[in-house]
Amino acid sequence: MSDSKERTGMDRGIIKKSDIPKLAGERRFFAPAREGTVPPGTCELQENPAEIAYGFSNVRAPLKEIFFPQTETMYTFDFDEVTDVPIPAEQILVFGCRPCDARALAQLDEVFGPENKGYTDPYYMKRREGSIVISLACSAPCPTCFCTATGGGPTETRGADLVAHELENGQAGDGGSLLIEAVTEKGRAFLESHKKLFGEASDQLVEEIREKDAAAVEAVRRANELGVDLGRQIDALKERMDPLFDDERWQQLTAGCIGCGACTYLCPTCYCFDIADESRMYEGRRIRTWDSCQFAMFTKHASGHNPRTNKKERLRQRFMHKFSYAVENMNEVLCVGCGRCITACPVNLDIRDVIRSFAKEPSRENAS
């Protein structure tokens, strides 16, 4: 284990797969696993898994649940008093999420973090602040991936503190190893504090990895040509969608929707929530839960009036939020191209169809 002369020793290193759990220390540790998943063969992020899974295309659910639980108790109450439920200041290590999910986390940071006009969500940020995220670069994206069209990529680093690459030339019997590179200062410090577990990575190896990365990016690009590059032009869809708010294609695109929330609940960037009181007899609690713009109740007013009366309007809201309103409010497209909404949809309503449909439209400048 050679201490390197330059700062490269802190920027990257090679670690045995079997040593990954040792990185956790006192932290809550989440990693992809196949044990007990339904159906067998699928992967999900599990806490302290017995065996970390590799070779999956993506985990079933994104990591928003870890930082933004579906149901969270804010405080409890009875007739006499309100008792705050302390926000856990947890130290969390997530290993092995895909780069798209890490990028989604960076987007959630902007929604829940101080960047958002000064409104900071303490529940999310408390968990997020002490966390370390190590993403695992993709080499073989699945057929529903379209990260490159949304400005990301299979080896994208944003949102991760460190990025891991699987190495093929591991020695027989050692279970393989990973190249881990720091992305953020936090990641660099984390690497430094665990340097005993890391070996040195040669420049040549890193170069080989870069070549593989480029091939992976190309593979996604080829597989999903959506006619738009939201990385180069974030508002490319927005400027085409905005004038077509009342276009009849929305009817056609959304006709099959049955109005469930599978897409939003499995989306790594959907963050809408509801706050409700649950009480029984003399006590109760106030909870925050996920909510979905696809539910009729989402916009229903106390008066009984509902501004979004049908599935077309609700689904249009979902896509407009992602590709137009988010661009306006945070200069971001709120979609990372993970494709979960495509595979989870009971009627195969495909977000790529929506993107393609509007991408074909001449842009506003050309049209006028």
Nearer to another protein, 13 or 96 (CB): 96
The CA distance from 160 to 46, in Å, is 18
* Position 272 contacts another protein (CB under 8 A): no
* Position 259 contacts another protein (CB under 8 A): yes
Q: Distance from first CA to last CA of the chain, Å, rounded?
A: 64
Q: Which of 336, 327, 341 is nearest to 149 (CA)?
A: 336
Candidate residues 252, 360, 364, 367; the one interacting with another protein per rule CB under 8 A? 252
- In degrees and rounded to multiples of 5, residue 163 shows phi and psi of -125, 135
Give the x-and-dash track for 160-189 against another protein (CB under 8 A): ------------------------------
Nearer to another protein, 146 or 198 (CB): 146
**What sign has the CA pseudo-torsion 218, 204, 162, 70?**
positive
Helices (H), 246-309: 249-254, 262-266
* Position 219 contacts another protein (CB under 8 A): no
* Position 347 contacts another protein (CB under 8 A): yes
Contacts of 143 (CB under 8 A, 6+ apart): 223
Candidate residues 74, 142, 205, 272; the one interacting with another protein per rule CB under 8 A? 142
Q: Which stretch binds another protein (CB under 8 A): 77-85, 170-178, 186-194, 345-353?
A: 345-353
Residue 258 Cβ vs another protein, minimum distance, rounded to whole Å: 4
The CA distance from 16 to 175, in Å, is 7
* Position 122 contacts another protein (CB under 8 A): no
* Position 199 contacts another protein (CB under 8 A): no
Candidate residues 4, 19, 24, 42; the one interacting with another protein per rule CB under 8 A? 42
Residues in 57-116 at the binding interface with another protein, rule: CB under 8 A = 57-58, 61, 70-71
* Position 278 contacts another protein (CB under 8 A): yes
Q: Where are the beta strands (DSSP E) in the chain?
A: 12-16, 28-33, 44-47, 71-78, 82-84, 92-97, 132-136, 162-167, 177-182, 273-280, 283-290
* Position 18 contacts another protein (CB under 8 A): no
Contacts of 320 (CB under 8 A, 6+ apart): 241, 245
**Total binding residues toward another protein, as defined by CB under 8 A:** 51
Sheet with strand 82-84: strands edge to edge: 82-84, 71-78, 283-290, 273-280
Residue 144 Cβ vs another protein, minimum distance, rounded to whole Å: 6
Helix (H, G, I), strand (E, B) or coil at 178: strand
Residue 118 Cβ vs another protein, minimum distance, rounded to whole Å: 28
Name the residue with tokens 């933004």.
Answer: 68
Q: Which residues bind another protein (CB under 8 A)?
A: 34, 38-43, 53, 55-58, 61, 70-71, 140, 142-144, 252, 255-256, 258-262, 264-266, 274, 276, 278, 287, 289-292, 295-297, 342-344, 346-350, 352-353
